[in-house]
Chains A and B, each alone.
Chain A
Amino acid sequence: MTADSRTPEPHAVVPIDPSLAPPGTRAFRDAGGIPADRWHADQNGETLVPTHCCFCGVQCGMYLRVDRGGKVFGVEPRNHDINRMRLCPKGVNAYQQVNHPDRLTAPLMRRSRDEPLREVSWDEALDFTVAEIRRIQQAYGNDAFGLLGGASLFSEKTYLVGKFARVALKTRHVDYNGRLCMVSAAGANKLAFNIDRAGNPFSDILLTDCLLIAGSNVGECFPVMTQYVWGARDRGATLIVIDPRETAVARTADIHVALKPGTDSAFFNSVLNVVVEEGLTDEAYLAAHATGWEEVRAKAAEYPPSRAAEICGIPAEQIVQVARAFGRAPKAMAWHARGIEHHSQGVENCLTVINLCTATGNIGKPGAGYGTITGQGNGQGGREHGQKSDLLPGGRSINNEEHRRQICEIWGIEESELPPAGTSMMEMVWQMQRREIRGLIGICNNPFVSLPNYRVVKEGYDATEFHAQFDFFLSETAANAHVVFPVTSWAEDDGVMANAEARVVKHNKAQEPPPGVRTDTWVMCELARRLGAGDKFAFTSSREVFDELRIASAGTVNDYYGITYERLEETGGIAWPCPSTDHPGTPRLFEDGKTYHPDGKIHLQVVEWHPPMDPYDDEHPMTLTTGRTVAHFLSGNQTRRLGALVEQTPRPWAEVHPSHGFRNGEPVRVVTRRGSEVFPALVTEAIRPDTVFIPYHWPVPTAANALTIDALDPRSKIPEYKVCACRIEHAERIDEVPAPPVAPGHVAYPETQVSRTDPLPPTSPQGRGTSERS
């Protein structure tokens, strides 16, 4: 081909929706893109509804493609600030769950667990539920009924969960599955800064000179964040990854510290030790902005690299390298996730990271700060408005009299009616086991897969006299319930979520719910009405709930007052605190050098490393650690039904080092003090020889969480998913992966639409012949 023939003929410019075009497309169009007539295809008449991905805490912007009949049928990337068109495979396939054949479309009910679930009318299901709530509460007291919410719910709904529990059920027992997610980071941030969120926006990653990622497999769990990580690397930033596995991001890091799981605080104390030794601390910053530095420095002195290297199972030089890279960088940042948070000292691990950032003066500046990477879409927003056992809306403490009074005023109840703090999710399961909690409603969660120590969880749920579950698929947990309410998916209602940057984004309704399906808001309000609290729950839309939430958060640190639906649609997201409707929001915290403590200082905390709760012995010499895989989300209730994702990762595996003599695919039995399960071995040098990794998205008999320990961090009450003692053995065979509780029915792709009779491939250039919903 000659050079000339490659230069396209000048051509009329085709108007395209600029929000759909990738950066720089003008140049292409001006040079004459060639839309031959036959490629014009606006026959679909589709509508693009701007919204966000329902899954992780990145909250990628996307358009849902809606056909003329008003049904979601596809996805189109969206040039949103957060993700700039990017999506991970979960995001690309998410739309398929909206009209999935497994969707529940009628309430299911049974009076005892011996019977099968059968379809009933809404009235029957609601009446039975209300009768059971009344019976249990009259017999055993209000606190014998519990409510467990979820962090995939919109913030409006999480606000309602908290209000419903305290005002309609009048129980102290309410908690949510975000308890399994980032509460350790939340606890640490509260202690140090008195504000519970990441300090910097993702875009600051692009400005940093040294990026430290601790305990986060960014490539698989937050894939879209990698563009920021690679962007930092392109600009010459040093990349440090702390992870027992060589993940895709660790593979390309300047320093990869493959430490032994459960030793993070020893490591970070030691890094601080070297930072101090080498004079890399910012003493002026510490003197002006922090308290507790003397004590923290003294503790760090007890962790010389030689000692920490032994605890962490790494070369001491690596500690020195990390300290120098982080300490000498003009601007350094640390992001962490479940890898350091899912521990019985999760809060403390996060505190050691904060200590390091503060000691080096890396707080509250562009390109310098700290952040936690939220696992669930609304892991951040999910606890801000009262769904957590100890929090009231606006992040107020339920133990604070002033806070209680403020909320009671908004809710129109007497302070004496507001229950005290309850217990955490795992503790509630223990209480169910002990029959202290006899009835339970679960909303948008699947503890049968997601909580540790499955046998305890099963026993707890089996011991309840009544269990209702809200979901749009029959999850493993819903299959155990007496009543299952079929509720809307994320594409069928409006609402907001707060992503890992604490940026509040708006999801827009793309289609009407299938017949028979109601919104979670409707179900909660209807239950409340039947329980006699209807006047407090007269909501007919998410917007009404949001407006009450805004008022309920006004004046707190978590101030949403200035955030309105209209502003969110205009701006693409606003980070809280945002106290007034002309306030731009707060993407970066502490720019004025002040934290949210009354003295405005960072409160540094002394941390002593202690070993994990499950001790090693001759029978259990190795470490089991768990995590996610890119194709699946949390308990897999949603992603284990989507064809492409199942094809990509059909089943779990156990990752083991070659030194154990397994061949790839051979059955390996992983044994802990709680049980044993068999997985195919994935033999790789990318893991420590003393560690085994299993992704946790599957139910028994291939459930990582049948093996994990239900030990909790004493402060955040997060379970210690990331480390327990185990051994591995050869096994005979691998148990089959159970099908999801309803017929397998995962979306089979339509046969290719190309047929011999089609004159041309059917095409529909996205963005042509489409209009955004106004």
Chain B
Amino acid sequence: MMGRTIFIDPGRCIGCQACVSACRECDSHRGKSMIHLDYTDEGQSVASLPTVCMHCEDPVAPCAEVCPADAILVTADGVVQQADTTRCIGCANCVNACPFGVPKIDLQAKLQLKCNLCYDRTAYGLAPMCATVCPTGALFYGTAEELQAERPGVQVADSFVFGESEVRTGVAMVVPADRVQWPVPGGLPVVEINGKDVRR
């Protein structure tokens, strides 16, 4: 996991979509939001959770791996960039490959657009737009230590299981303490997700 990254805490999300609006304000894709908000249990609960690019580490960025034009660059600090406009052919392979449903295709421009962790901001020490404005801290930008200092006892996970495959990501998720199983290399724990216990 990167030193400073986004931590998502669905327990705090109030579904206000400030993150969605703020993402639209970003200068590199103004007018289009690269975040979406999911409403789980609609009708039963007001729970919601934001999805940003998870900046997959292992396997490294499935979207980049499948890109036939080598348009998706992964930086040395693990940020999976939005497609290089001079290379992207708008084929949507990345859309299909992403396990989290993140990249989008601008059909008119035939261009892929995705969250690049506000590289233009983070490179200068600013937090990404979404995590900056999120009124509740459901999106937090910083290190795991900074998060834990602010929220004592908080537990995070950076691994997700889809069927048989496990994906380790650069963006982490806050999880209930009792779901955390054991630490994995890198010092961060793995958790049971999507109904599957990843120990087995």
Contacts and interface: CB of A to CB of B under 8 A. Distances in A.
Contacts of A685: 43-45
29 contacts: A6-B2, A23-B146, A24-B142, A24-B146, A33-B124, A34-B75, A35-B124, A39-B120, A39-B123, A85-B133, A86-B134, A220-B14, A223-B14, A223-B136, A225-B135, A226-B136, A227-B136, A234-B150, A251-B45, A685-B43, A686-B46, A751-B108, A754-B28, A756-B109, A756-B111, A758-B85, A763-B28, A765-B120, A766-B121
Interface in A656-705: 658, 664, 683-686
B76 A34 contact: yes
B51 interface: no
A247 interface: yes
Interface in A4-26: 5-9, 14, 16, 20-26
A225 B31 CA distance: 27
A759 interface: yes
A74 B26 CA distance: 10
A1 B85 CA distance: 25
Contacts of B30: 749-750, 752-753
Contact of B123 (A88, A644, A765): A765
A249 B14 contact: yes
Contact of B21 (A3, A27, A89): A89
Contacts of B146: 23-24
A186 to B, nearest CB: 26
A219 B78 contact: no
Q: Is the interface of B mostly helix, strand, loop or mixed?
A: loop
Contacts of A580: none
B167 to A, nearest CB: 13
Nearest to B58: A1
B124 A16 contact: yes
B163 interface: no
A701 to B, nearest CB: 26
A215 interface: no
A74 B3 CA distance: 30
Task: Bin the interface of chain B by size.
Answer: 35 or more
A220 B16 CA distance: 7
Contacts of B166: none
A648 interface: yes
Contacts of B119: 39
Contacts of A220: 14, 16
B29 A6 contact: no
Interface in B24-48: 24-25, 27-32, 43-48
Interface in B65-79: 74-78
Given A92-B18, A763-B27, A87 B109 contact: no
A14 B24 contact: no
Interface in B121-146: 121-127, 129, 132-137, 141-143, 146
B120 A756 contact: no
A754 B27 contact: no
Given A226-B135, A686-B45, A248 B15 contact: yes
B126 A16 contact: yes
Contacts of A720: none
B57 interface: yes
A41 interface: yes
B152 interface: yes
A740 interface: no
B195 interface: no
Nearest to A248: B14
A87 B46 contact: no
A413 to B, nearest CB: 46
Interface string B44-68: 1111100000000110100000000
B48 to A, nearest CB: 8
A89 B57 contact: no
A74 B21 CA distance: 12
A754 B85 contact: yes
A21 B3 contact: no
B113 interface: yes
B120 A764 contact: yes
A70 B119 CA distance: 27
A6 B77 contact: yes
B200 interface: no
A496 interface: no
A234 B154 CA distance: 9
Nearest to B44: A685
Contacts of A400: none
B197 interface: no
Interface residues of A, number: 84
A41 B111 CA distance: 22
Contacts of B44: 684-686
B151 interface: yes
B139 to A, nearest CB: 10
A774 to B, nearest CB: 22
Nearest to B61: A1
B76 A5 contact: yes
B17 interface: yes
A765 B121 contact: yes
Given A16-B126, A685-B43, 19 more contacts: A22-B126, A22-B127, A22-B142, A25-B125, A34-B123, A77-B132, A89-B18, A89-B20, A92-B18, A92-B21, A92-B22, A644-B24, A664-B43, A686-B45, A752-B30, A752-B113, A758-B85, A765-B126, A766-B126
B106 A754 contact: yes
A30 to B, nearest CB: 10
B82 interface: yes
A332 to B, nearest CB: 21
B179 interface: no
Contacts of B120: 39, 41, 763-765
A592 to B, nearest CB: 33
A768 interface: yes
Nearest to A35: B123
Scoring B3, B16, B86, B151 by chain A CB atoms within 10 A of each residue's CB, the highest score goes to B16
A710 to B, nearest CB: 31
A543 B33 CA distance: 40
A130 B152 CA distance: 64
Scoring B48, B108, B109, B119 by chain A CB atoms within 10 A of each residue's CB, the highest score goes to B119
A693 B85 CA distance: 47
B87 to A, nearest CB: 11
Nearest to A75: B25
Contacts of B12: 226, 230, 252
B111 A754 contact: yes
Nearest to A224: B135
A21 B126 contact: yes
Contacts of A761: 28-29, 82, 85
A762 interface: yes
A756 B108 CA distance: 11
Contacts of B2: 6
A1 B78 contact: yes
B185 to A, nearest CB: 8
B101 interface: no
A93 interface: yes
Interface string A392-415: 000000000000000000000000
A28 B3 contact: yes
A328 interface: no
Given A14-B124, A230-B136, A765-B120, A756 B43 contact: no
Given A5-B76, A749-B31, A33 B123 contact: yes
Contact of A89 (B17, B86, B113, B129): B17
Contacts of A227: 135-137
B191 to A, nearest CB: 20
A92 B32 CA distance: 14
Interface in A205-252: 219-220, 223-227, 230, 234-235, 246-249, 251-252
Contacts of A767: 124, 126
Contact of B77 (A22, A34, A74): A34
A766 B27 CA distance: 9
Contact of B86 (A77, A759, A762): A759
A515 to B, nearest CB: 27
A36 interface: yes
